[in-house]
Structure 1
Amino acid sequence: MKNESRQSIMLGEVEITRVVEWAGPLGPARNLVPGVGAEVWKENQDWLSPDHWEADGDRAVLALQTWVLRSGGKTVLVDTGVGNGRERPGSPHFHHRQGDFLGELARAGVRPEDVDIVVNTHVHGDHVGWNTVAADGGWVPTFPHAQYLIPAADDHHFGPGNAYGGGRREDDRLIYEDSIAPVHRAGQAVVWDGAHRIDEYLTLESAPGHTPGSAVLRLASGTDRAVFVGDLLHSPVQILEPACNSCFCLDAGQAAASRRRILERAADEVELLVPAHFGGAGAVEVRRQGLKFALGEWADYVEVG
């Protein structure tokens, strides 16, 4: 994937800027979405490669990215990536990572003090990492004036109330302690459930399955529509095979049901589908194809910064 770290598009009155923390091949494609057969990747190689699949080596290509929305006079971040200097023993790609995300954000015209709202679509390490930065031997909110919107079910599941994700992974405790708990202590956390309206254009809705509190952010401005779906999809092959979950989905049945519901509405309402990890243009329209779905047009950006 070429360097596309800062790109922008207008949907109605809302400007969307894409800021990429990292992009590249991450792991075996069949491990990422186990239910998708080799033939699906091969039959679609002409458009999957090179932005979504590295055929030589059979590796999925992903991006770690944040979407900056300027809406109603406010600056909203959708997910905050991996962060720097984190203890992530169960995630080698994220462990002790060092990058220039805040520099990329600044080059997109966003300083930490400019951010009004941070949306965490769910509490996984590659979505909450830049919630905080290291300071005085601990962690403090990166965005000092922002409200952090955190799904209630994830805050409970990954927090001490449910013993840090039910004790499934040591990383879950570490993620909560360095990226979520400091936001609570600072009084900047807004824990929501079901639905939460941010402004006249932006609404959060629950879409559980990937995690208990996984959420989508809907944008409606004028005739333009978009839906930021977090990790409901990791690869475009899941548009073709929506029953197939990623290896990270905690509740397979719920995740597949949420994915199909979101894809159906995206197709029917001509919403731009904006997943957290798609490479290439990162966002795409969805079309119905009988009882299945097909990809439409990819997002068309202008370069910024």
Structure 2
Amino acid sequence: MPHNVTSYRVGDATIFKIPELALDGGDAEILFPDSDPAAVAEAVRGLGPGSLDPRTRLLRQSIHVWLVRTPTQVILIDTATGNDKNRPTMPVLHRLNEPFLDRLTAVDVRPEDVDLVLLTHLHADHVGWNTRYEDGRWVSAFPNARYLFSARERAYVAAVARGDGSDAAIRAEAGLGTATKTPLHAIYEDSVLPIIEAGLAHEVTVDGSEVAAGFAFLPSPGHSIDHASIRFISRGEQALFWGDVLHHPLQVARPDWNSIFCEFPEAAQKSRQWAMNYAAETGALVFTTHFAESSVGRLSREGDRLTWHFI
């Protein structure tokens, strides 16, 4: 294993962070539209330089993938943005050319070694490495893997991509309140549909049931229509891969602030509070998707407040 790759142990599993992009220029008032300068100044107090640039006062974030190696399987949690994806409305994600697969190889994992890909939700920066562009078409980046994701999420993203209005019924059934955003259309065609057509997709119900050895999809909707936080338990130890319920540590102080990318604001706030309380009460080691620094930590309760501690 390369000397600069940090691993974590949860029971019998070893977990690695596989980086894709460092995002060091986040304006808090843009990322969190409900914020204001005075409230931001208060919320960022105590943040270290790994999460807040001390000179520019801009937020530091990350896009990465979690690799979980158990004694019997190799699992990826989300697949970041991917190369060559057409994302003109999101320039930072547009037509990337990152050596992500080389970074996997650096921890002795080849694409064909991956057994499972578990997706918290179907947004552009979580499904991109599902596929790679080869000979004029999108093919599975991990050809021997089963890809597990929410059935409702898949149906919704497909309906949005079709543009036939059928997404309205799915929103009504979900009952999450008013939607202020919808997913990017292109992600279904280039990052989800090719997996389905290859026979590698396995749709799940997000209800806390075990979907693979030690893994369960816990409901945390709001950021997306059927967002899941993925729990892993091994030998009594627990990890929580909470996807996008929080985007930055400052939301621990301000869980009422949704990101600009959250689709169902009211539900997103409820799920954020749930995830934070769950992590604090269970003592789970939390593996975040967009926190910078180590991206791993725990939440503790101090009086009536929750506090984040990087590991």
Task: Specify whether residues 223 and 86 from structure 1 end up closer, same or farther in structure 2 by C-alpha distance, changes over 3 A only.
Answer: same
Which residue does the alignment assign to 2:142?
143
What's the C-alpha RMSD, in Å, of the aligned pairs? 2.4
- Specify which of 151, 168, 180 is matched with residue 192 of structure 2: 180
* 2:242 maps to which of 220, 229, 232: 229
TM-score normalised by L of structure 1: 0.89
- Give the equivalent residue in structure 2 for 1:61: 60
Matches within 5 A, 1:29-68: 29-39=28-38, 41-43=40-42, 47-68=46-67
Q: Output aligned runs, 1:94-173, within 5 Å.
A: 94-160=93-159, 163=162, 172-173=184-185
State the partner residue of 2:281. 268
Shift in CA distance, 171/211, structure 1 to aligned 2, threshold 3 Å: closer
Deviation readout 1:186-240 (Å, 9 max, x if unpaired): 0000111123423342212221100001111112222422210111000001112
Q: What is the CA deviation profile of residues 72-103 of structure 1, one whole-angstrom value per residue up to 9, with x for unaligned ones?
A: 51111001111111110111001111110000
Percentage of matched positions with identical amino acids: 32
Displacement of 1:169 after TM fit?
Answer: 8.0
Q: Which amino acid aligns with 1:282?
A: S
Distance in 2 (alpha carbons) for counterparts of 1:200 and 1:128: 22
Letter in 2 for 1:27: G
Report the Cα distance in structure 2 between the residues aligned to 1:22 and 1:162, rounded to whole angstroms: 26
CA contact (8 A) 1:202 1:220 kept: yes
Letter in 1 for 2:306: F
Query: Tell me, which stretches of 5 or more residues in structure 2 are unaligned?
Result: 169-179
Relative distance call for 1:145 and 1:287 in structure 2 (3 A) is: same
Contact 2:29–2:35 (CA under 8 A) maintained in structure 1: yes
Query: Residue 276 of structure 2 contacts residue 299 of structure 2 at CA under 8 Å; is this kept in 1?
Result: yes
TM-score (norm 2): 0.88
Partner of 2:201: 189
The separation in 1 between residues aligned to 2:160 and 2:60, in whole angstroms, is 35
Q: 1:110 deviation in Å?
A: 0.9
Q: Does 1:258 align with 2:257?
A: no
Aligned mates of 1:257, 1:169 — CA distance in 2? 17
Report the 3-state secondary structure (helix = DSSP H, G, I; strand = E; otherwise coil) of the residue aligned with 2:242.
strand
TM-aligned CA distance change 1:173 to 1:24, over 3 Å: closer
Mapped to 2, the partners of 1:256 and 1:178 lie a distance apart of: 30
1:25, CA displacement in angstroms? Answer: 1.1
Q: What displacement does 1:112 show?
A: 0.5
Query: In the alignment, residue 227 of structure 2 is paired with which amino acid?
Result: S
Counterpart selection for 2:251 from 230, 238, 252? 238
CA distance in 2, matches of 1:130, 1:5: 23
Q: Which secondary structure does the structure 2 equivalent of 1:110 belong to?
A: coil
How far the C-alpha of 1:105 sits from its partner, in A, is: 0.7
Counterpart in 1 of 2:86? Answer: 87
Q: Which runs of 4+ in 1 moved over 6 A?
A: 167-171
Deviations 1:88-138 (A, max 9, x none): 011100111111000001101110000000011111111000000111211
Between 237-246 and 108-117, report the one with greater CA deviation. Answer: 237-246
Secondary structure, in 3 states, of the residue corresponding to 2:184? helix
Question: How many residue pairs are counted as aligned between the two chains?
Answer: 296
The one-letter code of the counterpart of 1:240 is: A
Q: Which residue of 1 aligns with 2:174?
A: none
Counterpart position of 2:219: 206
| Mapping 1:23-34, distance limit 5 Å | 23-34=22-33
1:273-298: per-residue Cα shift (whole Å, max 9, x none)?
222111001011101133331123x2
Alpha-carbon distance in 2 for matches of 1:120, 1:248: 17
CA distance in 2, matches of 1:220, 1:37: 39
What 5-or-longer segments of structure 1 have no aligned partner?
300-305
Higher strand share: 1
CA 145–219 in structure 1, closer or farther in 2 if over 3 Å, else same: same
Separation of aligned partners in 2, 1:259 and 1:137 = 40
Quote the Cα distance in structure 2 between the aligned partners of 1:45 and 1:203.
33
Aligned to 1:303: none
Name the amino acid aligned to 1:271.
Answer: A
Separation in structure 1 between the aligned mates of residue 268 and residue 4 of structure 2, nearest angstrom: 29
Amino acid at match of 2:212: D
Cα distance in 1 for residues equivalent to 2:204 and 2:11: 26
Q: Distance in 2 between matches of 1:170 and 1:194?
A: 20
Deviation (angstroms), 1:161: 6.6
